[in-house]
Structure 1
């Protein structure tokens, strides 16, 4: 090839790259516009004759409670009732003392804990004694009855409101695993308030048929449980195949159709398939876990998997899309971080720092080639991969955070957002402690308020 041919090839490649970046930019701009349109549809209706807006507060980890909060606002709007929708951490003591009517839609996280976007509400308000005699409230609680503290946070919130002198408008509604009957009970209460009986039924999106297109064992020989990369594609062209980096899927295993299992999506729509990173769970007797066993071993490649996409607004990039990003995780939590790196690569944002931990480098370095490629292309400005069992003294991601405390402070000062994905016990708790020790409690709380500290932990 002569020099002119090489020049033409370079120019052609550059034009393709620029075009791809433009397309990605247009896609994300349109996506943000659609999201804003949804919120605008539930915008405040001006209060007539001095009527006060109803406060609708939500505490949501995976996004379902937030979705129901906006549905609640829209239903009340049909009757001309003004509303204000906010996460609990956005609600102040003055908001509560000056509000006469409030509805709370809250989920419970882990063993009775509040979701992340309620943590400030708990620390600043629920640990204080407020006098709220003028507040009348209703509570919709989301949970899973297989946990001992079913709807634990919703119960704690209700007890605190009553102890503060607030009065219940009606009995609290408990929703077990998104049960449609419970949601209809909540709608019935709202219909009384709104004076309408023709509101559409609310229910989670229906499950759709997906084909298990590929499955690869990523860590043969590992001392830990087998971990697999899965790829799924929709069976039906009309199926919903739109998601964002940070979103989840819910999978129904044939032997446990009443309890869906959630997994972080490890890909972006431009990949053409939903990618999952699934660790094979085993019970004490050695038998396979129901959902993980089905996905990683029992279902044959090509078989149908019943699955639905789940928006996870609390872990999406949102307004952080162009910020420096510190991505922290362990184990299969790399899935959610991988999707964010793919999204950032698509729009050419390169100020990314990955801090990831697993057991042994020889067996458990998932997506090794991909991570090295991101480093060589400059997509990853920093990558600290921590293998806990590769030295005599075990080292974890939270130890790396402490080691790099000055760098952490510099990135945060430069406007970085922190995304954490992986195990709640051990990793996520250790990371939060390390961040608090490094930055101070006030700074961590500011990051939460600004949406710059987000978690997808389990």
Structure 2
């Protein structure tokens, strides 16, 4: 090769290299700009990641992007880059962390362990959530996520929701995380990252449980599988794939600029893109590209496979503008009896039954009775009679859900103690945490005899107040020991 050609080749390689470096720097700068909220914006929610293979970091960025679709300011940081001071002023933080080896933190978190977790800074102004990645084939499953959770609580931070643990990338747990992201963003419309595969079920019963109630209508729903039914366990979750009511479809088409919102008020249309595509005049493949899948909805299962059908207890929700909620509206108002429901069962190991022979204390309010009912039915079928239920709602006359069944359990002895808290039946508002405090001595006796405590119901209000009452009655250290041993479990939403 001649000298001029060698110089030209060298210059070409140099320019290509400089262009590549500029591209890398530009992408890094863009990512950095995306991770920092404008100075005049609301305080950004912190999403911190600690990853060994890159999966936790990927999920952290996907979480941030999902929250940004709801106009929530977010910043993303590596856990190792954080300090005690930055956490103390963060306001709200989400931690997406993996566990490596036999329960170790990722290498990228070593600095955080050494400089931050070695102390106990005041994090009383921090609200946090944790997505812990792990693999159940290892003895110390999700160990770093669990130790981070315990340390944050020790420093006074408040959990925004219970820790979500993911076994080897399990899709159901990741969808549950997305469910919590939607609640943080104040919207129920965040799309799933990936549309789950649903089975076909038939809605065979819909019964209003609380006519005349001061609260929202609550319905008992029963579904039967159209094909073979999956097995499930008390504590497991039903994921529902809602379909669009007519006004929702028309509005969606209108927002896409694909059609008018008029003329569909009295019709119901399925969620499947083929039906909507026919209205839009688009090929289904094109509509799928432009139309994200509807987010799923989660409900505690209130029955057992042996009952022959899957039962739910669903509160009808209305949005601020008066429209029905996506999932509850579909199940309680729009879906026709006998019609098909898209449903899949998600295993929820963190709320599975205790070992046989252990006394069980069930605490909940409102539609949280669904998850407790499944446990009570399982215990009753197994001949386990040491059961205690504490349940709260508005009024005995309207809101004592499944009253006949519960009173029958008391009469036959499969429910040894029942404490009820109907908040509107007297001048003073009485809730389940007040009943717990009244029964403090009995509660300590049951726990000393090995009882497990299961809580199901609303995260805001009830769950925190119950936990505070339990900590006062049993002691913070004892409650932590119950949590670590699996004797204190929650399914709260």
With normalisation by structure 1, the TM-score equals 0.61
Tell me whether 1:252 sits opposite 2:266 in the alignment. Answer: no
Q: Paired residue for 2:384?
A: 349
SS class of match (1:220): coil
Rounded Cα–Cα distance in structure 2 between residues aligned with 1:448 and 1:221? 39
* Closer, same or farther: CA 123–397 of 1 in aligned 2, 3 Å: same
Show structure 1 runs of 5+ residues with no match.
1-53, 59-87, 103-110, 129-138, 151-175, 181-202
Alignment of 1:32-431 (within 5 A): 95-96=103-104, 112-114=128-130, 121-124=148-151, 142-144=177-179, 146-148=182-184, 179-180=193-194, 206-236=197-227, 238=228, 240-255=229-244, 257-317=293-353, 319-431=354-466
Deviation of residue 121 (structure 1)? 3.2
Shift of 1:283: 1.3
- 2:453/2:488 contact within 8 Å kept: yes
1:148 to partner: Cα distance: 4.5
Checking the alignment, whether the CA contact within 8 Å between 1:267 and 1:342 is kept in structure 2 is yes
Contact (CA 8 Å) 2:199, 2:344: kept in 1 or not? yes
8 Å CA contact retained: 2:301, 2:370: yes
- 1:346-391 deviation line (CA, Å, top 9, x unaligned): 1100000000000000000000000010001100000001100000
Compute the displacement of 1:300 (Å): 1.4
Distance 2:295 2:241 in 1: 7
Say if 1:315 and 1:454, in contact at 8 Å, map to a contact too: yes
Q: In the alignment, which residue of structure 1 is the partner of 2:268?
A: none
CA distance in 2, matches of 1:231, 1:253: 16
Equivalent pair of 1:120/1:445 in contact (CA under 8 Å): no
Distance (whole Å) between structure 2 residues aligned to residue 112 and residue 233 of structure 1? 39
CA–CA separation in structure 2 for the residues paired with 1:124 and 1:371:
40
CA 1:114 to 1:303, structure 2 compared with 1: closer, same or farther past 3 Å?
same
TM-score (norm: length of structure 2)? 0.57
Aligned-residue RMSD, C-alpha? 3.4
Shift of 1:320: 3.1
Q: How far has the Cα of 1:284 moved from its partner?
A: 1.7
Q: Look up the SS of the partner of 2:311 in the other structure.
A: strand
Q: How far does residue 215 in structure 1 lie from its aligned partner after superposition? A: 0.8
CA distance in 2: counterparts of 1:366 and 1:121, whole angstroms: 38
Distance 1:280 1:101 in 2: 45
For residue 288 of structure 1, give the secondary structure of its aligned residue in structure 2: coil
**Shift in alpha-carbon separation, 1:112–1:301, aligned structure 2, 3 A:** farther
The 8 Å contact of residues 251 and 262 in structure 1, kept in 2 or not, is answered as yes
Deviations 1:11-41 (A, max 9, x none): xxxxxxxxxxxxxxxxxxxxxxxxxxxxxxx
Instruction: Verify the 8 A CA contact 1:112 1:149 in the aligned structure 2.
Output: no
- Using the TM superposition, give the Cα deviation of residue 241 of structure 1 relative to its aligned residue in structure 2, in angstroms: 2.3
* Alpha-carbon separation, structure 2, partners of 1:125 and 1:251: 33
Output the CA distance in 1 between the equivalents of 2:200 and 2:450. Answer: 41
SS of the counterpart of 1:96?
coil
SS across alignment from 2:466: helix
Runs of 5+ consecutive residues of structure 2 not aligned to the other structure: 1-51, 57-95, 110-126, 133-141, 156-167, 245-270, 272-292
Aligned 8 A contact 1:354 1:382 in 2: yes
State the aligned residue count.
306
C-alpha contact (below 8 Å) 1:329/1:357 kept by paired residues = yes
Kindly indicate whether the alpha-carbon contact (under 8 Å) linking 2:192 and 2:295 is maintained by their aligned counterparts in 1. no
Query: Where does structure 1 differ by over 4 angstroms across 4 or more consecutive aligned residues?
Result: 99-102, 115-120, 125-128, 139-142, 147-150
Question: Is 1:320–1:452's contact at 8 Å kept on the other side of the alignment?
Answer: no
Q: How far apart are residue 95 of structure 1 and its match?
A: 4.9
User: 2: CA distance between counterparts of 1:252 and 1:412?
Assistant: 39
Tell me the secondary structure at the aligned position of residue 464 of structure 2: helix
Indicate the SS of the match to 1:254: coil
